[in-house]
Amino acid sequence: MIKHTFLRRVVHAATPLAYALGLAVVPLGAIFADEAASDWFITPQNEVRLISTNQGVSSDKIVLLGLQIKLKKGWKVYWRTPGDAGFPPRIDWSQSVNLGKIKLHWPAPARFEVLGFQTLGYKNEVVFPITAVVRDSNQPLKLHAKLNYLTCDDVCIPYQTELSLVLPVGHARLTDHFQLISKFMAQVPGDGASHGLNIEKVETAGDFNTVEKGIRKGIIRVVATSAVPFTKPDIFVEGPEFAVFSPPEVTLENDGKRAVLILTASEEEDTKIQESTLKLTLVDDGRAATQTHRVAAGPQLSAISSHPPAALPLILSLALIGGFILNFMPCVLPVLSLKVLGFVAHAGRDNRAIRISFLASSLGILLSFLVIASGIVGLKLAGTAIGWGIQFQHPWFIIGLTFIVSIFAYNLWGLFDVSLPSWLSTLVGRQSGNNVGHTNFVGDFGTGAFATLLATPCSAPFLGTAVGFALAGTVFDIYAVFAALGVGMALPFLVITLYPAVAGNLPKPGPWMVKIKYVLGIALAATAAWLISVLAVQISVPAAVTVGALMLALGLTLLCKRRLGQRGHKFATATILAIVVTAFVAPYQLSQSSGLSAKSEAHWIAFEPDRIPRLIAEGKTVFVDITAEWCITCQVNKTLILNRGGIHEVLASGGTVVAMRGDWTRPDAKISAYLKSFGRFGIPLNAVYGPDSRSGIILPELLTADLVWDALGTASGGGIVANKNFK
């Protein structure tokens, strides 16, 4: 990179001398002037002239010209952004007569190497189309072009020449050059619509933290789509001065219609690629598109096409932290009561019994995470969409979890006790060194497993990066990351295992715990009610009411079972089995009824990612909220941030801000693809788009008012910052 930058600066500094040398080159000869063409400027390496599609000036005042360059074998000229070294053709039209505006168009270039440097340009022959506007259509157009250009092979030679062309009035018929200029005009990239090409987003894949001799390095990730499968896509990036971009590493997805291009970018100390605006030219088998995108901050590791070996230890560290934070997320709050209750229950017991009990809880967490990992691996190998918490999209899981929550609540209310087989109870008692209650052993293990189940609809800080890395990686990556998540979430239990005296010194259990159990049982019953409300959205209200009624019937049956004899126990057991089977079967029979729509205010429009570019073109700022009824973090964001204060006023104003919401309560392939495009596999996901952030600004899982205001202000170019006084 240092030598590249040095060479480029030398070339810029040496330009005046190069022009002087070019003036010393005398054309070897001129051929007979062609119609609507200047004389050829001929050198041993190339030939250059001006040509026109028309013989003269027409009444519409527009003339299409061409700068034609023929190159000898091996020689090249440069594109408008030459790459690591070189400079493009430059034309001074100031001595022309009757010339208004003039624009030089650049056909899509090719990539090649010169002296080991990556450069962009043209071989053999190129015509640069030129659109000229005449000031007065009743006067001839006298063109005088001072041309400076550089041609390279093993060596580079700069040239300077002057080309003249006069187009008279009233002779607007087409010349023989029309087809040649039109051919190269067709190679000038447009916005990509006619070729079915689109650049969806441009983002960093990690911070530019690697610094070597004043040069920072980082990774840029570009996501592009095509109406037909890509053949061999390439991309050329134009950014800040003295910023250099490597050739891309390309990964094709979606049957070749989606390309992920990873580029290494280098910048000097005074250069800033992150959050800058880049012009990108995407080429593929004769097709091309040029679009401008602002560089967004993307996921640090999930964007990289292949995980480097050094990345896994870092990801495992993030997974450990993310798993630990899950203990404090709103998803796990309903089961936190069980943790506290179990913690207090250990007061007064010996250290060995405490260690075994907390290890049982840790084992419940860890094994649950490994079971989830196994399910994800199976889905991935089967080609099914995968993600964090997607099991909540399926009614059977909601029903099963409702049953488990209800059982825990009824257990706290004393309606039944869990008993181990006698042989297992004896084994547990022997290993603990005292009379460990078998109920506690099952409860501790179940508490860990239950906490894991309720944690899965939550997306904690660091967790999204770790899960995204795992789900985009190998089977080993999935198991390793999910095991680290389990260890992180079990960390509080493991700490007590190492320091059991913490639990032993707590106040001893007494009658006061009975009252707490009733209160905590109510909290779990509320969790069951929330799950039933999710079921109402997924299937129907009658289905949810049916499941709720069956859970109440389950409680009444357990209550009656305690008061019945041996025969009554058998009847009650059969009734419980019938209730469980009915709970899983009956709701699907009622699915024909229309369920509730996702709870959303009228100002939220349906999620349609294809509309976002059009809304931005209209000057709108788009706030995207991907949510679900089962995502508690999503509901917290809505309650505390999106549905209150100035942010709610701005989103509901119907002005320059468009609020767009996607509901992932049920499976949705469009939302899954959208999440995957950001390297995300879980929700919530909030993104802000605008004229100054066409590729989107991704917000953290937990929102704050300042984060939302800053994103709205950045995306809108500062136009929404004034609304900050609504806070």
Q: What is the token pair recorded at 192? A: 């990509």
Q: What is the token pair recorded at 601? A: 């205010």
Give me the sign of the Cα torsion angle 690, 692, 695, 696.
negative
Taking only the tens place, the pLDDT of each residue in 616-643 is: 888 899 999 999 888 877 888 898 899 9
Out of 93-102, 270-279, 406-415, least confident range: 270-279
Domain-located, residue 626: yes
Residue 71 has pLDDT above 70, yes or no: yes
How far apart are the C-alpha atoms of 146 and 710, rounded to whole Å?
48
Q: In the chain, how long is the greatest CA-to-CA distance? A: 118
User: Residue 203: its pLDDT value, please?
Assistant: 84
Mean pLDDT of 75-97: 90
User: Residue 389: its pLDDT value, please?
Assistant: 66
Out of 27-36, 332-341, 562-571, 647-656, least confident range: 27-36
User: Residue 308: its pLDDT value, please?
Assistant: 46
Pick the residue with more confidence: 310 or 315?
315
CATH number at residue 283: 2.60.40.10
Domain-located, residue 302: no
Query: 331 with 636: CB under 8 angstroms?
Result: no
Taking only the tens place, the pLDDT of each residue in 284-299 is: 988 999 998 888 776 5
Spatial neighbors of 41 by CB under 8 A, at least 6 apart, are 27, 47, 48, 49, 147, 159, 161, 163
Residue 3 has pLDDT above 50, yes or no: no
Half-sphere exposure of residue 614: CA atoms within 13 angstroms, side-chain side? 5
Mark whether 644 and 722 lie in a shared domain.
yes
User: Residue 224: its pLDDT value, please?
Assistant: 92
Q: How far is CA 435 from CA 301, 441, 642, in A?
A: 50, 11, 53
Residue 575 has pLDDT above 90, yes or no: no
Taking only the tens place, the pLDDT of each residue in 261-314 is: 988 887 765 557 776 788 999 999 889 999 988 887 765 433 333 444 445 787
Percentage above 70 pLDDT, the chain: 73
Residue 115 has pLDDT above 60, yes or no: no
Query: Which of 351, 702, 682 has the alpha carbon at shortest distance from 498?
Result: 351
- Kindly indicate the confidence band of residue 166, based on its pLDDT and cuts at 50, 70 and 90: very high
Pick the residue with more confidence: 35 or 24?
35
Query: 348 with 508: CB under 8 angstroms?
Result: yes
Beta bridge partners of 127: 68
Q: How far is CA 287 from CA 12, 225, 495, in A?
A: 32, 13, 60
Write down the H helix ranges in 590-681: 611-617, 632-637, 645-652, 669-677
User: Residue 128: its pLDDT value, please?
Assistant: 97
User: Residue 456: its pLDDT value, please?
Assistant: 64
How far apart are the C-alpha atoms of 503 and 346, rounded to whole Å?
6
How far apart are the C-alpha atoms of 640 and 504, rounded to whole Å?
38
How far apart are the C-alpha atoms of 168 and 326, rounded to whole Å?
78
Query: 405 with 531: CB under 8 angstroms?
Result: yes
User: Residue 427: its pLDDT value, please?
Assistant: 40
Average pLDDT value for the chain:
77
**Region of 383 on the Ramachandran plot (φ > 0 left; ψ -120 to 50 alpha; else beta):** left
Spatial neighbors of 43 by CB under 8 A, at least 6 apart, are 25, 27, 28, 151, 157, 159
Out of 203-212, 335-344, 678-687, least confident range: 335-344
Domain-located, residue 598: no
Give the strand pairing for 141-152 and 90-92.
antiparallel
CATH number at residue 678: 3.40.30.10
Mark whether 20 and 161 lie in a shared domain.
yes
How far apart are the C-alpha atoms of 658 and 650, rounded to whole Å?
9
Residue 19 has pLDDT above 90, yes or no: no
Taking only the tens place, the pLDDT of each residue in 491-528 is: 888 887 887 776 655 555 556 566 777 777 787 788 78
How far apart are the C-alpha atoms of 360 and 541, rounded to whole Å?
39
- Per-residue exposure over 468-489, b if at least 16 CB sit within 10 Å of its own CB, e if not: bbbbbbeeebbbbbbbbbbbbb
Q: Concatenate the DSSP letters of all residues of 115-173 into one string.
A: TTEEEEEEESEEEEEEEEEES-TTS-EEEEEEEEEEEESSSEEEEEEEEEEEE-BT---
Pick the residue with more confidence: 447 or 365?
365
Domain-located, residue 596: no
Classified as helix, coil or strand, 590 is coil
Query: Which of 181, 195, 386 has the alpha carbon at shortest distance from 289?
Result: 195
Give me the sign of the Cα torsion angle 554, 555, 560, 565.
positive
Query: Which of 459, 448, 471, 628 has the alpha carbon at shortest distance from 538?
Result: 628
Out of 409-413, 592-596, 611-615, 653-657, least confident range: 592-596
In the 8-state DSSP scheme, what is residue 97?
B
Q: What is the token pair recorded at 588? A: 């699907």
684 cis-preceded (ω within 30 degrees of 0): yes
Residue located via tokens 């079967």: 585
- Kindly indicate the confidence band of residue 472, based on its pLDDT and cuts at 50, 70 and 90: low
How far apart are the C-alpha atoms of 625 and 686, rounded to whole Å?
5
- Kindly indicate the confidence band of residue 443, based on its pLDDT and cuts at 50, 70 and 90: low
Mean pLDDT of 36-44: 93
How far apart are the C-alpha atoms of 436 and 345, rounded to whole Å?
12
Mark whether 94 and 26 lie in a shared domain.
yes
Beta bridge partners of 204: 220, 297
How far apart are the C-alpha atoms of 355 and 458, rounded to whole Å?
29
Mark whether 178 and 229 lie in a shared domain.
no
Mark whether 157 and 83 lie in a shared domain.
yes
Q: How far is CA 619 from CA 558, 605, 656, 716, 719, in A?
A: 62, 17, 7, 8, 11
Query: 672 with 385: CB under 8 angstroms?
Result: yes
Mark whether 65 and 89 lie in a shared domain.
yes
Pick the residue with more confidence: 168 or 466?
168
In the 8-state DSSP scheme, what is residue 35?
T
Beta bridge partners of 49: 68
Spatial neighbors of 93 by CB under 8 A, at least 6 apart, are 99, 102, 143, 144, 145
How many residues in the chain? 727
The radius of gyration computed from the CA coordinates of the chain, to the nearest angstrom, equals 34
Residue 43 has pLDDT above 60, yes or no: yes
- Kindly indicate the confidence band of residue 572, based on its pLDDT and cuts at 50, 70 and 90: confident
Domain-located, residue 594: no
Q: How far is CA 171 from CA 35, 141, 307, 675, in A?
A: 11, 12, 64, 58
How far apart are the C-alpha atoms of 584 and 564, rounded to whole Å?
27
Residue 95 has pLDDT above 90, yes or no: yes
Query: Which of 525, 584, 531 has the alpha carbon at shortest distance from 552?
Result: 525
User: Residue 468: its pLDDT value, please?
Assistant: 66
- Kindly indicate the confidence band of residue 235, based on its pLDDT and cuts at 50, 70 and 90: very high
Mark whether 230 and 151 lie in a shared domain.
no
Mark whether 327 and 248 lie in a shared domain.
no
Mark whether 370 and 480 lie in a shared domain.
yes
- Kindly indicate the confidence band of residue 347, based on its pLDDT and cuts at 50, 70 and 90: low
Mark whether 359 and 288 lie in a shared domain.
no
How far apart are the C-alpha atoms of 595 and 541, rounded to whole Å?
6
Residue 16 has pLDDT above 50, yes or no: no
Give the strand pairing for 604-606 and 657-663.
parallel
Count of the separate structural domains present in the chain: 4
Domain-located, residue 523: yes
Taking only the tens place, the pLDDT of each residue in 530-563 is: 888 888 888 888 888 999 999 999 888 888 877 7
Query: 146 with 95: CB under 8 angstroms?
Result: yes
Last residue of a domain, one of 564, 589, 614: 589
Residue 600 has pLDDT above 90, yes or no: no
Angle, in degrees to the nearest 10, between helices 491-498 and 351-381: 150
Q: What is the token pair recorded at 687? A: 């993104």
Element (H, E) at 586: helix 566-589
How far apart are the C-alpha atoms of 355 and 361, rounded to whole Å?
10
Mark whether 149 and 133 lie in a shared domain.
yes
**Please, is 111 exposed, middle or buried when counting C-beta atoms within 10 Å of its C-beta (0-12, 13-18, 19+)?**
middle
Out of 205-219, 356-370, 442-456, 692-706, least confident range: 205-219
**Please, is 400 exposed, middle or buried when counting C-beta atoms within 10 Å of its C-beta (0-12, 13-18, 19+)?**
middle
User: Residue 147: its pLDDT value, please?
Assistant: 96
User: Residue 601: its pLDDT value, please?
Assistant: 63
User: Residue 120: its pLDDT value, please?
Assistant: 92
**Region of 206 on the Ramachandran plot (φ > 0 left; ψ -120 to 50 alpha; else beta):** left
Last residue of a domain, one of 185, 210, 236: 185
Q: What is the pTM of this model?
A: 0.47
User: Residue 657: its pLDDT value, please?
Assistant: 92
Last residue of a domain, one of 534, 556, 589: 589
Domain-located, residue 461: yes
| Residue 670 domain boundaries | 604-726
Domain-located, residue 659: yes
Mark whether 574 and 655 lie in a shared domain.
no
